[in-house]
Structures are given as structure tokens and as C-alpha cells.
Structure 1
Amino acid sequence: MIGRRFVLLAGAGAAIWSVAAVAQPYPARPITIVVPYAAGGVFDTIARIIGARMGELLGQPVIVENVAGPGGIIGAQRVINARPDGYTVLLGTVGSHAYNQSIYRKRRYDAVSDFTPVTLFSDQPMVLEGRKDLPANNLAEFIALLKQNGSKMQYGSAGVGSTTHLACALLNARIGIDVTHVPYRGGGPAANDLIGGHIDYMCSNMGAFVARAAAKQSKPLALLSRERTPLMPELATAQEQGIGDCDVVTWTAFFLPKGAAQDIVATLNEATHAVMDTPAIKSRFSAIGVVGVAPERRGPEYLAKYVVEEIARWEGPIKAAGLQVD
């Protein structure tokens, strides 16, 4: 009898503990940010900077987990298959949530329906840069040069399907000219050949370009984003120089698995932008060419709409460039 009463009481205690655990305010344990790219790159750096401060604000450790794979697919699938409880967050990018939706003829996942959008939090503008002795000093002169000598010119990238490739592919399409593409194994080797004069131009992330600009190793021709950047306010956008619809940024956002509760979404959204509004964090991001997005672009509703627009915007250039694979 005593044994039976003990079992009943133990069972009741376990049930009470279970209910209490469920009722604990979020977050009640460490959060993992899954970065679908290798450690040491800009996305890994972004996650570690933002995660450290977010952990302080939320009162729980934030762990960065690198799950690298082509197009961000493996890391994205890791989050898709996780519980939608707010403890597994994907650092999504234009690559994981726009490019690879068109690059692969059979999508590995649906970037719209397989995730719960949390917040768009940063942009990294792209820059059109030419070799330092390129006979063009602005976009108009560059276009004239391409139209006269495009068949003899080459542009480099960090690899087929990379942001650096697709940015220039889109720009070339807007100009209406075909130029030979030279893919490298990473942005560093491509930049080295640009500096050495072996290729004529490339489209680079602002963070990578700033150091070359300071050393006058290459020349800026246009900013490929919708607005000028405070990192280089004197550089005019492509739109200002006559090429419309050429907005190319390496954006970053947070996503949860499908079905996450809206109160969890709101908590992560608020924490992320409290981080991005922290002066010390702004300074650290500025040093690597990353800019926080405007407040009106921070909501989950905006991100949901933005992903749909980005997928549609990149589908044409990707197919036109013949980048689709099985």
C-alpha cells in the first residue's frame, strides 16, 4: 500500500514538474543558431557577434552551430526537422532562401512554407569594382567599355552560384551584354586576380571591398543596393547611375521551423533588434561591411513577403545564366 501510494505521488509529482517545465517563460534553456555555412566566414562571424549579445539580453547561452553544405541546404534541413519550440534558429541568407530555390530544378525544401519567419536584421551591400587600371571611373563609362570590348573582358567570382557571381550576372543582364565568367574557389583568389589585373571586374561584398578600396588596389564603380551605404557614402548606386532594378545585397535573417508560436517569434525579433541597435555591435558590424536594416523592414510579416519577392527576382537571372542543376 505504501509502495503504491509512493508511485502515485511520484507520478503526480512528475506530472506537476512536466506542467511547470512547459509553463516556464521562453527561453528556459540555451538557444542554438544554425549557420548553414562553414566556420570562419562572414555569416559565421555575424552569428557569433549577434549570438553573444543576444544571450546576455535573453539570459540564456546562445550557441552557434555550423552545418555547412551546398547552397545552405543541409543546415536549413537541420532546422526544418527541429522542434518549433524556439531553441533551434536558422541564420538564413539570400543564398539559402532565394538563390537555391531556383538553382536546383527540384527544390530540396520550400523556403516559404517550411519556415516561420522571425526577422530580417542586416544587409551587406554589393559593390561593382574594377581593376585599378580599368579605363572607366563610373557606371556609364563601364557600360560603354563593356559594349565596345565585352567579348574580350572577364569578370571573376567566388564560384558558380555565389552571391558574387549572381550579382554580376544580374548586372550584365540589366546592361544587356554577355561577358566571360571566371569562377574561383572563393572570393579571396578572385580578388587576388583582380588586384593583379588578370580579370577586369567583379561584384563583391562591401566588407571584402573596403580594405582593397583603402589600399587603392581596385576602383569602385557602383553600389549595387537600393540605397547608398554609410560605409562609403560617396559611392553612387547603380540606380542613381541609370541602371534600375539592380538591388543586390547579401541579407541575413532569422527563421524558425514551421509552426513556431508567435510569442516566441516576437521575443526573438525584439532581442535581435535590441542587439542590432547596440552601439558597440553596430561598430563591429560596420567594420565587416554589415548594416542593420531599417525598423520598417524588421517585422516577420515583412520578411515573409521579402523572401517571396527575392525568390521571384532571382529566378530569371539564374535561369538565363544557365545555372540550374539537378
Structure 2
Amino acid sequence: MARLIRFVVVALAVLNLGPALCQDWPTRPVTMVVPFAAGGPADTVARILAPGLSELLGQQVIIENMGGSGGMTGAARVAKAAPDGYQFVLGNVGTHAANQTFYKTPLYNAATDFAPVMLIAQTPLVLLARKDLPADNLREFIAYAKTNQTSMQFGSGGAGSASHLACVLLNTAVGINVTHVPYRGAAPAMQDLIAGRIDYQCPDTPIAIAQIQSKMVKAIAILTRNRSPSLPAQATAHEQGLIDFDASNWFAAFFPKGTPATVVDKLHAATLATINTPAVEMRMQEIGADLVTPERSSPDYLQKFVETEIEKWAGPIKASGVSMD
């Protein structure tokens, strides 16, 4: 009942942002750019959100997958788009934090080239191995990797993506140097992991849970410091000896810089209402995504959060020595 009341209150706020705004925006479909391939974690989150946003905004929210450069290609398109409210990006830790250090010349400034809308959810990252890799825990994985690192490969959703950087930090922490194979999203990387063409990857729980449950891949460790409620039996890297190791992903909505505040406010209210529906809460829980609490949901909070995340990832990335032109 409490969730239903909260949804009704927020939905009414969407409808009462002002008669002029409701008439002026949106008057046509709105594009949500997912800067990764279809079937990956960001795509999964987007497809959970889109129906509710479409209903509340009164126009269809169309998902457009645009992968490349660890998500930077799609995010850059939105950064350079007209600030009219008809394109926004579902960004993450890779597109709006880590790539600012990882790339020597990023295509945009994540802190200044966007109008932040809302931090939506956070997801743990998981170390997965091909199912026939002879290791069942992190200690055995490290021992195997140290012996076989010259012939091993790890995959990711692209250079600079969350799944890439999590594995880079892991490799650095355990002292191995393994060849990286970048894909245009986590889903294609997962397909090759299942097929045994790569040895491991570090994806989000939305794409990992189903493959773990079906035993198509082998879960080695949760990479957040605390266990994930969606995989409660899986030990963390911290528990298995990598003290204080912590890598997670998050998802947030961003318009181009200069988008009118009234438009930002309306998408914010629609997003807040959508994530407070029981159906969306249930789906997010199923994929292992933790929805943000109310005090972390404002545009101002997201702006400060992005600035903090850029700083947080800068140190480990510089220490790892990896970078891209």
C-alpha cells in the first residue's frame, strides 16, 4: 500500500508540472540512448523503465542501442544533441566517471556537458569464468591465472566500460597481465564466455544471474565489498582475500547540457514514479539492481555524485597504468 501511495503522489507531480510544459514537451517520441549493445545490463535496465516512462510522459520512449568505445560513442551523441528534451542517455560508471581518466582525450566532459536527471540504480559486478576453467573460488582462480596468464583472455563491454575496468582493477590487485578482448557490449562478451572463447569477464548482475543459475558460466566472486542480495551464497572478493576490493556499476539518466529545467524536472518525476511501481521494483530486484533511495534521487545529487565518481576512479585507473587514446 505504501508503494502504491508513493507512486500515485509522484505520478500526480508529473501531471502537475504546469499546463504549458505538458502541452510543449513531449509532443513526439523521446529517444533513450543506451550506449551499449542490446541484451546487456544497461539495455535490460532501459527496457524495464521504458514502458512506465512512455505511459507517464504520454509519448513513446524509444530505446536506441549505440555501442562503441566503452559506451562513450552513444553518450557523446547525446552530449552534442540539441537540448530540446528528445534525446537522453542512460549512462553508467563507465560513460560518466571512469572514462574521464581512462581515455587520454575523452569525447566530452561528464561533469559539465550534460544536464543530470536522476541516479536510478546500482548493480554489483561479478567475476565470471568459463564453466570448464579449473577454478571454483578466487584463490584457485588467481593461482591458475598466474600460471596461464600469457595464454588467457578476458572480455568486456568495451574499452573503458565498467566490466573492463573492474577486471583491470582485479588483474592489478592480484598481479596478472591478461589480454583484453573488447566487445560492443556485455552481451556479446557473455556469448563468447559461454562458448569458451574467452576465459573470464566482470559483468553486472543483470546479465550474470541467469547464466550463473543455468550453470552456463562459473561464478568466482562478487566484486562489491558486501554480498549481493540477489546472489547471497556467492562470496565476495573481499571475503576471499582481496581486502576492501569494491567495484560496482550504476545507471543514471542525462540530457544534453542546456536542456530546459522544466523538461529535466518532468523526466525526473516520471522516472521516480516509474521506479516506485511494484512491477518495476520486482523486476529490478530479480536482476540484482538496487534502486536508489529518495534522498539520492535529485538532479543535484546526481551532479555531485558524478563529480565524486570521477575522482574515485581516477586513482585506481592511474595506478593500474591502463589508458586509451
Larger radius of gyration, structure 1 or 2? 1
In 1: Cα distance, 2:71 partner to 2:201 partner: 23
Deviations 1:231-259 (A, max 9, x none): 21222333344434533233211112223
Q: Which of 20, 24, 29 does residue 24 from structure 1 map onto?
A: 20
Question: Quick one: which amino acid aligns to residue 247 of structure 2?
Answer: V
Superposition CA RMSD, Å:
3.3
Q: Which of 25, 33, 36 does residue 35 from structure 1 map onto?
A: 33
Decide whether aligned partners of structure 1 residues 300 and 244 sit closer, same or farther in structure 2, where only a CA change above 3 A counts.
farther
Q: Secondary structure at the match of 2:121?
A: strand
Say whether 1:77 aligns with 2:76. Answer: yes
Corresponding residue of 2:306: 307
Q: Secondary structure at the match of 2:249?
A: coil
Identify the range of structure 1 (42-51 vs 111-120) with the bigger mean alpha-carbon deviation. Answer: 42-51
Corresponding residue of 1:15: none
Deviations 1:65-112 (A, max 9, x none): 444443434433333344445443222122221232123212321100
TM-score by length of 2: 0.77
Q: Aligned runs of 1:49-128 on 2, under 5 Å?
A: 49-128=48-127
Corresponding residue of 2:13: none
In 1: Cα distance, 2:63 partner to 2:252 partner: 15
In 1: Cα distance, 2:74 partner to 2:165 partner: 22
Contact 1:208–1:289 (Cα < 8 Å) also in 2: no
Contact 2:35–2:90 (Cα < 8 Å) also in 1: no
Contact 1:132–1:216 (Cα < 8 Å) also in 2: yes
In 1: Cα distance, 2:33 partner to 2:276 partner: 22
Corresponding residue of 2:234: 235
Decide whether aligned partners of structure 1 residues 216 and 107 sit closer, same or farther in structure 2, where only a CA change above 3 A counts.
closer
Question: Quick one: which amino acid aligns to residue 173 of structure 2?
Answer: R
Contact 1:161–1:323 (Cα < 8 Å) also in 2: no
TM-score by length of 1: 0.77
Deviations 1:167-225 (A, max 9, x none): 111112233x0232241546566546655666553322223322332232333222112
Corresponding residue of 1:297: 296
Shift of 1:324: 2.5
Contact 2:127–2:219 (Cα < 8 Å) also in 1: yes
Q: Secondary structure at the match of 1:306?
A: helix
Which 5+ residue runs of structure 2 have no aligned equivalent? Answer: 1-17
Decide whether aligned partners of structure 1 residues 188 and 261 sit closer, same or farther in structure 2, where only a CA change above 3 A counts.
closer
Q: Secondary structure at the match of 1:77?
A: helix
Q: Aligned runs of 1:1-326 on 2, under 5 Å?
A: 24-26=20-22, 27-30=25-28, 32-37=30-35, 40-42=38-40, 43-132=42-131, 134=133, 136-143=135-142, 149=147, 151=149, 154-158=152-156, 159-175=158-174, 177-183=175-181, 185=183, 187=186, 190-191=189-190, 194-195=193-194, 200-326=199-325
Corresponding residue of 2:9: none
Contact 1:160–1:323 (Cα < 8 Å) also in 2: no
Question: Quick one: which amino acid aligns to residue 229 of structure 2?
Answer: P
Question: Quick one: which amino acid aligns to residue 245 of structure 2?
Answer: C
Which 5+ residue runs of structure 1 have no aligned equivalent? Answer: 1-21
Question: Quick one: which amino acid aligns to residue 89 of structure 1?
Answer: F
Decide whether aligned partners of structure 1 residues 194 and 303 sit closer, same or farther in structure 2, where only a CA change above 3 A counts.
same
Decide whether aligned partners of structure 1 residues 325 and 213 sit closer, same or farther in structure 2, where only a CA change above 3 A counts.
closer
Question: Quick one: which amino acid aligns to residue 272 of structure 2?
Answer: H
In 2: Cα distance, 1:228 partner to 1:293 partner: 18
Corresponding residue of 1:8: none
Question: Quick one: which amino acid aligns to residue 28 of structure 2?
Answer: P
In 1: Cα distance, 2:188 partner to 2:258 partner: 42
In 2: Cα distance, 1:40 partner to 1:189 partner: 9
Contact 1:213–1:220 (Cα < 8 Å) also in 2: yes
Question: Quick one: which amino acid aligns to residue 163 of structure 1?
Answer: A
Shift of 1:24: 0.6
Divergent runs of 4+, >6 A? none
Shift of 1:59: 2.9
Shift of 1:113: 0.9
Identity of aligned residues (%): 44
Question: Quick one: which amino acid aligns to residue 124 of structure 1?
Answer: T
Question: Quick one: which amino acid aligns to residue 40 of structure 1?
Answer: A
Q: Secondary structure at the match of 1:234?
A: coil
Contact 2:35–2:91 (Cα < 8 Å) also in 1: no
Contact 2:163–2:202 (Cα < 8 Å) also in 1: yes
